[in-house]
Amino acid sequence: MKKLLLLNLFFLAIFSNAQIGINTSTPVNTLDVNGDLNVRKEIRIGASSATKGTAGAKGTIFHNNASLNVNDWKNVKVADGMGSMSLFSMNSTFDKIGVGFTGNNGAISPYPENMDITTNWSVLTGTVTTFSVTNTTNKVTFAFQTTAQKTVNANTTNANASMSFACGIFVDDKLKAVRTDVLLGADGTNKIFNLNATLTNIEIKNGYTVKVACTKRNLNGGTIGIGRAVNTEFLNADMSQSALTTSVLQPF
């Protein structure tokens, strides 16, 4: 059989409208090769019954354009300087729910790096997202902004006493960056809280989880809202919302 076909393929052109399968009895395209393909000369694409296809200029790449019914050759160039350290992925998440704290004062000691998240921390649920790192040389940057607002301080003689809090960035539930801040003033006082941080050369991993969580420090008897309005005379949910941008930088 092989000899017979060889003979025929060698001497004759095959005219057929049927589908041909190599190593398959159920071809699903015009030529279906169930195995590897050796090509000893150029591949030409965009051929017709009248013309040969094009072999592409040297250096061009086999490319698919969904609006063409044939493949084409694409000349791909990159700007000088690209690839040294470039944006690999970027994502922004936001949260309008926020977190609120009231009751007793929280702990005011600093927070150790890589600390596991505890129940003292409340997650800004909308900020939770994932990112991946695929190169041992990498930078991961976080830019977080929210609004914090206080109410009146109930149990002190000074109704305008300070209230403090901390917000941190947790990667796989371990603390990677944190800043603390203090609100001073009358009921409804609010301020912008910023946290920008850079991690360097973290381990390669598909699917890190990142989230922002906040905790109370000194409340002095009041209520504090982070990413949430606790006195709606001055703030609404859009004004108090939180945003987290995560960027992964890598060479390629």
Partner 1 sequence: MKNILFILFSTIGLSLSAQVGIATPTPKAMLDVNGNINFRGKLIVRNAADGKLLEGGDDQLLVSQGAGLAPTWKSLRIPDYEANKFYLIYNNSFSDRVGTTFTSSEEPTIASRSASFTKNSNISNFSQFKKIPGLSQTFNVYSTESKTYFQFETVIQANFANVGTTDTSIDYACGIFVDDKLVNLRQGNLKAVNSTNPFLTHNQIGLAQNLTKGAHSVSVACSRLKSYNVPAGITLGVGTNVSDNIDSFISQSSFKVDVYEVPQVFNAITN
Region from 94-102, 147-155, 189-197, 223-231 binding partner 1, contact rule CB under 8 A: 189-197
CB count, 10 Å around CB of 123?
Answer: 17
Instruction: Give, as ranges, the residues between 73 and 132 that touch partner 1 (CB under 8 A).
Output: 74, 76-82, 84-88, 108, 110-113
Pick from 99, 148, 161, 212: which binds partner 1 (CB under 8 A)? 161
Is residue 23 close enough to count as binding partner 1 by CB under 8 A? yes
Is residue 57 close enough to count as binding partner 1 by CB under 8 A? no
Minimum distance between the CB of residue 62 and partner 1, rounded to whole angstroms? 4
Minimum distance between the CB of residue 232 and partner 1, rounded to whole angstroms? 26
Minimum distance between the CB of residue 45 and partner 1, rounded to whole angstroms? 4
**3-class DSSP state for residue 10?**
helix
**3-class DSSP state for residue 176?**
strand
Backbone angles phi, psi at 2, to 5 degrees: -60, -45
**In contact, 227 and 146? CB cutoff 8 Å:** yes
Minimum distance between the CB of residue 238 and partner 1, rounded to whole angstroms? 22
Minimum distance between the CB of residue 122 and partner 1, rounded to whole angstroms? 18
Residues 122 and 8: their CA atoms lie apart, in Å, by 75
Pick from 128, 180, 187, 202: which binds partner 1 (CB under 8 A)? 180
Region from 16-24, 91-99, 117-125, 203-211 binding partner 1, contact rule CB under 8 A: 16-24
Pick from 39, 57, 104, 233: which binds partner 1 (CB under 8 A)? 39
Residues 233 and 241: their CA atoms lie apart, in Å, by 16
Pick from 122, 147, 149, 162: which binds partner 1 (CB under 8 A)? 162
Q: What is the DSSP letter of 119?
A: T
Query: For residue 171, which of 148, 199, 144, 143 has the smallest C-alpha distance?
Result: 199
Is residue 5 close enough to count as binding partner 1 by CB under 8 A? yes
Is residue 207 close enough to count as binding partner 1 by CB under 8 A? no
Minimum distance between the CB of residue 141 and partner 1, rounded to whole angstroms? 4
Residues 214 and 170: their CA atoms lie apart, in Å, by 10
Is residue 61 close enough to count as binding partner 1 by CB under 8 A? yes
Per-position b or e across 44-64, b if 16+ CB within 10 A of its CB = ebeeeeeeeebebeeeeeeee
- Give me the amino acid identity at 233: E
β-strand partners of 120: none
